[in-house]
Structure 1
Amino acid sequence: MSRRTTEFCDGISRRSVVKAGLTGLMGLSLPDILRLKAHAAERGHSKQDTAIIFLELAGGPTQHETYDPKPNAPSDYRGPLSPINTAVPGVQFSEFMEAQARVLDKMAIIRSIHHDSGSHSTSSHLTQTGYYLRDRQNRENEMPSIGCITSRVRGSNAEGIPAYVSLPRDMRYGRAAWLGKGFNPFITARDADAKNFEVPNLTLLRGLTAERMRDRQSLLKGFDATREIIDNKGVGDAIDQYTKEAFEMVAGDAARKAFDLSQEDQNTRERYGMTAFGQNILLARRLVEHGVTVASVRVTGPSWDDHRDLVKRMREKGVPYDRAFAALVEDLHERGLDKKVMVVAMGEFGRTPKFNKNAGRDHWGRVMSVALAGGGIKTGQVIGASDDKGGTPADAPYRPENVLAMLYRHLGIDPAATFPDHSGRPRYILERRDLITELI
């Protein structure tokens, strides 16, 4: 599985840049997070021990070659792959989704998600924030993502643990916009299948203790090499109680243990697959088990932007993705986490119902399939349907915002809540917030 830079057809590189090991740490602005958490507690906001894992199928997966095969369609629509039966009678998946087919009784598939954009940027922003990107050339969030909203409202489920973690890098539009950089995700900066995997953001500060942090001068002296970077982020001027707790979060034992994938037994690791997909998804499970509230996994390499050689590219990524997702679903049930943790696997759009001249499928926002599991939803079902060629919803049409509304419901966050944007205008978390009733 390649770990090279992923590049979509719009030419935007998704390279993760780690500067002096500080990218994730400084992006957190943890003192701000802790202050706001304290303020929220003072206002009496409730907290519940729930979490989500968001599998970002970046690039836009094909519905036909995953969860919505069309075996009776003409050959240039159905494609060369075969349908297979699932654990639910009468429901079929495409052949590369074999492991998930066996556990569909513990999953739900929505085949009728749709929206109006074929742009990677606009569509990714929609599926991760609930709002279209107004300027499709904007590479920064215009609205905060679900992980950042959750970090702002809920915080983490355990002390010393970040609320929102992205593996191995943030989602395409997984950042905080006008909420402030203090709610951006903590990133691992590398795939969890790397030899001797460690998170630079944690190993950088190894050795720092609360005793050392009590002395401002000692702390700053210990950061001489990076003091300029830290001060530019406003951390050097915020050495107070919350800053001390912030450094404890990334330097203390709780975070290090949560990120220590070597604590998982080898059988479990192999069950997920010794691939970037498998180990990143396993680490996401480990993180939510240890108190992370939102873990996102960027499931790419190659991306799902399959304009050509779709079958070959699907074999490369579809098989390890399928294995890891199925392992996650079963693992959550075996550990008694299936009510606590909700999982969603969603790209930014589907693919054209007809194969193109390069043996691929192009961008198609008019219908897409989304997979969910856990969170106490009603499983063992397919919700909605696409037409006979897989081009438009034919039954129970839903939108990405409805999926996000279900995730917010699970997290105990009211999507009708508002926050002021840069201009002071109150903005709803979601403007479209109807639930997917079949899941409840």
Structure 2
Amino acid sequence: MSRHTAEFCDGISRRSVVKAGLTGLMGLSLPEILRLKAHAAEGGRSKQDTAIIFLELAGGPAQHETYDPKPHAPSEYRGPLSPISTAVPGVQFSEFMKEQARVLDKMAIIRSIHHDSGSHGTSSHLTQTGYYLRDRQNRENEMPSIGCITSKVRGSNADGIPAYVSLPRDMRYGRAAWLGKGYNPFITARDADAKNFTVPNLTLLRGLTAERLQDRKALLKGFDATREIIDNNGIGDAIDQYTKEAFEMVSGDSARNAFDLSQEDPKTRDRYGRTAFGQNILLARRLVEHGVTVASVRVTGPSWDDHRDLVKRMRDKGIPYDRAFAALVEDLHERGLDKQVMVVAMGEFGRTPKFNRTAGRDHWGRVMSVALAGGGIKTGQVIGASDDQGGTPADAPYRPENVLAMLYRHLGIDPATTFPDHSGRPRYILERRELITELI
């Protein structure tokens, strides 16, 4: 199976991931999505304006070639890349992470995240929802992702703005499950470095101006009396407050301005890198600045599923990722957003401590590294450690659920909150809710 057909070794194609994301978005009209989102306010909406950016390193990055090099290990464990110094004395990163090494004083790295799965699907579901995927063949969420939970509980931080946006498509298990499709992410469906980048769902049809749209809105309003006669049970969904909100999102300026990267200084765009990684991550920063509560970026292409030719594949993606992440960290500080916005970069697992016969590393859930920034956490530190070969936690073992608990804490959401699933069973947002105390 070619690289263009399948992105991961389990055979999940990019096309199927995109299709799953579009199904979640296009399966409902915009008014229906807004209608379902309305329940978020009924339970008392948080007044916080905090936000998160979730960088999904899809495929599972190698800890050795990113944040946890092992320069003193035998060569088959160490790998061919060199360690480099960071802004924190005594801490080293791998050589392709030089920009993040420079800003480590504004970041925190956890080198001891672990879990028990080596499956892309099971592990992705865990890192994005806090629960293992029970059926490894299931392509849909069995539990809601953090973005969908946040969309329901918090909503967006500004009117006319989606609460949860995924760039360029949703995370592998970034959807709402039984919470309802109305809480699925708003997706851009294309990379932000595309020429003349626009978001289709926010663009008026050719020939349909805002004035003409308002005329149609007025025409629909004229049918209100008829609707009220026909729909005396209040079930009608054609013309109601959510349809009006849909008109405002499409015809208003708030969402369109938030997604308009052309308003960014060209120097800022250069700073992030004129790559898909760079422009998607820049757009994520722009979105949270304009009121989006959760922005996820699928940082892949090639994926981090590096079973072979790891060094070449790391050079292709590691360098632009490193540049964009470091730019984001500095940009948040310069804009005074470093307390408001928390950033996490996390894949579904790490890679085997020993190189394989095809110059790559295989799936390894027993230890992985996770990078965080912003959110008022204690930075300039490395938390935990892996053993001498980078195979298991040696100090301060934590799990992906602990990372999610920190994100929920930042968002002001109690992970002990429960929601009924399809069977009516109350389900906790997280069953394991311990915080990473070193970050507080």
With normalisation by structure 1, the TM-score equals 0.91
Q: CA deviation at 1:247?
A: 3.3
Distance 1:228 1:328, change over 3 A: farther
Distance 2:234 2:289 in 1: 32
Q: CA deviation at 1:284?
A: 0.3
Distance 1:3 1:255, change over 3 A: farther
Q: CA deviation at 1:218?
A: 7.8
| CA deviation vs aligned residue, 1:116-135 (integer Å, no higher than 9, x gap) | 00000000000000000000
Distance 1:225 1:377, change over 3 A: farther
Q: CA deviation at 1:150?
A: 0.4
Alignment of 1:111-150 (within 5 A): 111-150=111-150
Distance 2:225 2:11 in 1: 35
Distance 1:16 1:339 in 2: 37
Q: Which moved more, 1:250-259 or 1:408-417?
A: 250-259
Contact 2:46 2:153 in 1 (8 A): no
Distance 2:209 2:282 in 1: 29
Distance 1:228 1:320 in 2: 56
Distance 2:137 2:96 in 1: 34
Distance 2:229 2:269 in 1: 37
Distance 1:217 1:102, change over 3 A: closer
Q: CA deviation at 1:248?
A: 1.8
Q: Which moved more, 1:211-220 or 1:400-409?
A: 211-220
Contact 2:9 2:305 in 1 (8 A): yes
Distance 1:170 1:261, change over 3 A: same
- Percent same amino acid at aligned positions? 92
Contact 2:259 2:283 in 1 (8 A): yes
Q: CA deviation at 1:47?
A: 2.3
| CA deviation vs aligned residue, 1:104-162 (integer Å, no higher than 9, x gap) | 00000000000000000000000000000000000000000000000011000000000
Distance 2:408 2:433 in 1: 9
Q: CA deviation at 1:241?
A: 1.1
Structure 2 gap ranges (5+): none
Indicate the SS of the match to 1:20.
Answer: helix
Distance 1:280 1:232 in 2: 46
Contact 2:117 2:123 in 1 (8 A): yes
Distance 1:276 1:226 in 2: 49
Contact 2:68 2:369 in 1 (8 A): yes
Contact 1:408 1:414 in 2 (8 A): yes
Contact 2:36 2:183 in 1 (8 A): no
Contact 1:191 1:276 in 2 (8 A): yes
Distance 1:34 1:389 in 2: 50
Q: CA deviation at 1:239?
A: 2.3
| CA deviation vs aligned residue, 1:274-324 (integer Å, no higher than 9, x gap) | 000000000000000000000000000100000000000000000000000
Contact 1:21 1:201 in 2 (8 A): no
Indicate the SS of the match to 1:315.
Answer: helix
Contact 1:124 1:173 in 2 (8 A): yes
Contact 2:25 2:185 in 1 (8 A): no
Distance 2:232 2:25 in 1: 13
Contact 2:165 2:296 in 1 (8 A): yes
Q: Which moved more, 1:66-75 or 1:209-218?
A: 209-218
Contact 2:163 2:292 in 1 (8 A): yes
Indicate the SS of the match to 1:47.
Answer: coil
Contact 1:25 1:201 in 2 (8 A): no
Indicate the SS of the match to 1:382.
Answer: strand
RMSD value, Cα:
4.4
Distance 1:198 1:4, change over 3 A: farther
Distance 1:250 1:44 in 2: 26
Distance 1:275 1:337, change over 3 A: same
Q: CA deviation at 1:44?
A: 3.3
Contact 2:300 2:317 in 1 (8 A): yes
Distance 2:355 2:232 in 1: 51
Distance 1:166 1:137 in 2: 23
Distance 2:225 2:4 in 1: 29
Q: CA deviation at 1:249?
A: 1.9
Alignment of 1:179-258 (within 5 A): 179-205=179-205, 237-258=237-258
Partner of 1:62: 62
Indicate the SS of the match to 2:231.
Answer: helix
Q: Which moved more, 1:345-354 or 1:2-11?
A: 2-11
Q: Which moved more, 1:274-283 or 1:30-39?
A: 30-39
Contact 2:25 2:184 in 1 (8 A): no
Contact 1:29 1:235 in 2 (8 A): no
| CA deviation vs aligned residue, 1:38-91 (integer Å, no higher than 9, x gap) | 555454343210000000000000000000000000000000000000000000
Distance 1:37 1:189, change over 3 A: closer
Contact 1:28 1:186 in 2 (8 A): no
Q: Which moved more, 1:88-97 or 1:221-230?
A: 221-230
Distance 1:358 1:92, change over 3 A: same
Partner of 1:397: 397
| CA deviation vs aligned residue, 1:303-358 (integer Å, no higher than 9, x gap) | 00000000000000000000000000000000000000000000000000000000
Q: CA deviation at 1:200?
A: 1.1
Contact 1:28 1:185 in 2 (8 A): no
Indicate the SS of the match to 1:19.
Answer: helix
Contact 1:350 1:363 in 2 (8 A): yes
Contact 2:17 2:172 in 1 (8 A): no
Indicate the SS of the match to 2:371.
Answer: strand
Q: CA deviation at 1:36?
A: 5.8
Contact 1:24 1:186 in 2 (8 A): no
Distance 1:6 1:221, change over 3 A: farther
Contact 1:214 1:244 in 2 (8 A): no
Distance 1:235 1:219 in 2: 20
Distance 1:22 1:115, change over 3 A: closer
Q: Which moved more, 1:366-375 or 1:3-12?
A: 3-12
Distance 1:125 1:404 in 2: 12
Q: CA deviation at 1:35?
A: 4.6
